[in-house]
């Protein structure tokens, strides 16, 4: 008869909700207690005590925040590394899909350099033509040295030609620098292709 009663008592004891007390030292140096976290404890390390006054947990907001930030930084680092690896794999697949041999890379380089050299020559010829046009305008201006105002159309043409010369000179400089970039790109493509395939 006593066995069911004992079992019931044990079950109730297990179901009993443990009550905690919170303790901390406030910014003013005083110690605070409460059945809930005292307002003076917010942002401060807090001790969680059981009903017998034994420390069961220490809550450290600053430490928790630091740990959270460290975890986020580590997760970001791992995510960045994974993204970088995926990008390397993507570039490697694209490289192998683009070229079937080292000769293909050399051929592509020659085509790119030839196209760039053609653009350089076109820019040089255009600059030469624009300078001749500008010289013709200067001769035309000689007729207006006696104080007469040059026609507005002539002034507009001179200005437009100067702007065009400046823009084409900039394009020429860019194309001349492009040669080094093209060679660097295909050197890297060849290096990676040989590394991935073992072909020379």
Find out whether 63 and 37 touch, Cβ atoms under 8 Å.
no
Residue segments in the chain with a per-residue pLDDT below the cut of 50:
15
Residue 175 token pair: 């194309």
Burial of 150 (0-12, 13-18, 19+ CB in 10 A): middle
First to last CA, the chain: 92
19 DSSP assignment: P
44 DSSP assignment: S
- What is the model's pLDDT at position 19? 82
- What is the model's pLDDT at position 82? 94
- What is the model's pLDDT at position 16? 53
Predicted confidence (pLDDT) per residue in 172-191, tens digit: 999 999 999 999 999 999 99
| pTM of the predicted model over 0.85 | no
CA distances from 92 to 30, 81, 132 (A): 64, 16, 50
47 DSSP assignment: E
């Amino acid at each position: 008869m006593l066995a069911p009663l004992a079992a019931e008592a044990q079950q109730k004891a297990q179901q009993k909700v443990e009550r905690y007390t919170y303790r901390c030292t406030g910014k003013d140096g005083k110690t605070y207690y409460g059945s809930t976290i005292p307002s003076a404890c917010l942002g401060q390390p807090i001790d969680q005590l059981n009903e017998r006054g034994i420390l069961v947990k220490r809550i450290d907001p600053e430490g928790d925040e630091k740990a959270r930030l460290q975890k986020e930084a580590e997760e970001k680092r791992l995510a960045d590394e994974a993204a970088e690896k995926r990008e390397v794999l993507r570039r490697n697949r694209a490289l192998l899909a683009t070229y079937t041999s080292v000769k293909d890379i050399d051929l592509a380089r020659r085509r790119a350099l030839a196209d760039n050299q053609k653009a350089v020559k076109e820019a040089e010829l255009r600059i030469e033509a624009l300078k001749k046009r500008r010289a013709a305008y200067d001769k035309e201006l000689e007729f207006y040295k006696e104080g007469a105002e040059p026609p507005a159309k002539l002034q507009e043409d001179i200005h437009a030609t100067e702007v065009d010369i400046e823009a084409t000179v900039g394009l020429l400089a860019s194309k001349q620098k492009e040669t080094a970039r093209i060679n660097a790109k295909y050197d890297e493509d060849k290096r990676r292709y040989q590394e991935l395939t073992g072909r020379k």
